[in-house]
Amino acid sequence: MSQYILRRLLWLIPVLLTLSFITFALMHLVPGGPWDREKQLPPAVVENLNRKYGLDRPVWLQYLSFVANTLRGDLGISYVHQDRSVTDIILNALPITATLGLLALILTVALGLSLGTAAAFHQNSWLDYICVFYATSFASIPGFVLGILMVIIFSVTLHLLPTGGWGTPEKLIMPVIALASIPAAVLARVTRASTLEVLHQDYIRTAHAKGLSQHIILYRHTLKNALIPVLTLLGPEVAYLVSGSFIIENLFSIPGMGRLFVQGVFARDYGLIMGTVLFYAFVVAVANLVIDVLYGVVDPRIRYD
C-alpha cells in the first residue's frame, strides 16, 4: 500500500508540470495582458511594468522561471492585489473555500447516502418515489440556478437569509445547499441503484432467512458491498465541488479562492491564475488518491501490489 501511495504521489509531479505548461501557454495565447485598463496606460509605463515583472522576456523563459520559483515555494506576486504574494493570497482564501467545500461534501454524502439507501430499502413505496423525484429534479438544476432561486425566495421575498457574504453561520446555508445540490442528487441515484443490486444477491436472502435484523443486514452486509460504486463517484464529485465553487463564490460574494480565480482571469493576473490552478489540481489529485485507497478499506479483496 505504501509503495502504491508513493508512486501515485510521484506521478503528481509530471501531472502538475503538464497542467502548468498548458495553463501558462493558454494564458499568453489569449489576447490582452495584465495592464489592460478602461483607460490605457502610457506605453512607457507598460514597458516599465513589463520589465519590473519580467514580462518582457520570452515566454519560454518566463515559464522556466515560474517552474524554478514554484519548486522553491514561490508562486510569484499578484499584479492586481497591491503586489501581495500569490502564496499569501491563497493561504488567506483557503480556509474560506475549504470550509465551504467541506460542508458541501458532508451534506452531499449524508443526504445522498441516506436518501439512496432509504429509497432502495423501501422500493416502490412513497418514500422511494419522493427520493427518486428529488434525485431526478435536483440533478437537472444547475447549482447557480438553485442559488438564484433561493436568493429570490429566502432573501428578497421572505427576508430570512442574507444575500451573500461571509462570517456568520446563516451566510453559509444557501451557498452550501447550492453547491451540494447536484452531487447529492447524483450520489442518491447511484446509492439507490447499487444498494438495490446488492439487496438481490443470494447472501442477503440467506441473511434474511437466518432471521438477522434489518439493522445488521443494512450495516454489515448491504452498505459495505454497495459502497464501491459510491466511492468511484466521490472522486468526480470532489472535482465538481472544487470547480463549482468558482460560480457559487461569485454568486454569493464569498471571498474564497474560486472568486479570486475568476477575478484573476478577468484581470489577466498570471501569477494568481497559475497558483490557483495548481492548487485545485493538487486537491483533486489527492482526493482521487484517497478514494482509491478507501477501496481497499471497504473491500479487503482489493490489493495494490
Alpha-helix residue ranges (DSSP H) falling in 252-303: 257-267, 270-298
Task: Classify 120 as helix, strand or coil.
Answer: helix
Higher-confidence residue of 244 and 259: namely: 259
Contacts of residue 250, defined as CB under 8 A and 6 or more positions apart, other chains included, come to: 258, 259, 262
| Owner of C-alpha cell 474560486 | 258
Q: Are 194 and 230 within 8 A, CB to CB?
A: yes
Give the whole-number percent of the chain exceeding pLDDT 70: 93
The count of residues in the chain is: 305
For the residues of 57-97, what is the DSSP string, one character each? S-HHHHHHHHHHHHHTT---B-TTTTT-BHHHHHHHHHHHH
- The CA distance from 177 to 151, in Å, is 12
- Measuring CA to CA, which residue among 85, 81, 84, 52 is closest to residue 70? 85
Angle of CA points 192, 103, 85, to nearest 5°: 135
> Does residue 174 have a pLDDT over 90?
yes
pLDDT, tens only, 195-250: 888 877 777 777 777 777 777 777 677 777 777 778 778 777 777 777 677 888 88
The CA dihedral of 228, 239, 277, 268, to the nearest 10 degrees, is: 170
pLDDT value of position 305: 60
CATH code of the region 91-269: 1.10.3720.10
* Phi and psi, residue 22, nearest 5°: -65, -45
Higher-confidence residue of 295 and 256: namely: 256
> Does residue 254 have a pLDDT over 70?
yes
- The CA distance from 188 to 120, in Å, is 10
Stated pTM of the model: 0.82
**C-alpha 113 chain-centroid distance:** 19
The 10 Å CB-count burial string (b at 16+, else e) for 200-216 is: eeeebeebeeeeeeeee
Q: Are 295 and 7 within 8 A, CB to CB?
A: no
Instruction: Report the chain's C-alpha Rg in angstroms.
Output: 24
Task: Check residue 20 and report its DSSP letter.
Answer: H
| Owner of C-alpha cell 502538475 | 16
pLDDT value of position 149: 92
Mean pLDDT to the nearest integer, 53-76: 84
> Does residue 299 have a pLDDT over 70?
no
* Amino acid letter for position 120: A
> Does residue 150 have a pLDDT over 70?
yes
pLDDT value of position 151: 92
Neighbours of 241 (CB within 10 A): 25
How crowded is the C-beta side of 253, counted as CA atoms within 13 Å? 8
- In this prediction, residue 55 has a pLDDT band, given cuts at 50, 70 and 90, of confident
- In this prediction, residue 159 has a pLDDT band, given cuts at 50, 70 and 90, of confident
- In this prediction, residue 304 has a pLDDT band, given cuts at 50, 70 and 90, of low
pLDDT, tens only, 80-123: 776 678 888 888 888 888 888 889 989 998 998 888 888 888 88
Tell me the three cell numbers of residue 143.
447549482
**CA-based end-to-end distance of the chain:** 7
pLDDT, tens only, 8-54: 788 888 888 998 899 888 888 877 777 776 667 777 877 887 787 77
Mean pLDDT to the nearest integer, 69-84: 80
Average pLDDT, the chain: 83
Angle of CA points 94, 11, 87, to nearest 5°: 25
Neighbours of 288 (CB within 10 A): 16
The CA dihedral of 200, 290, 106, 125, to the nearest 10 degrees, is: -10
pLDDT value of position 152: 92
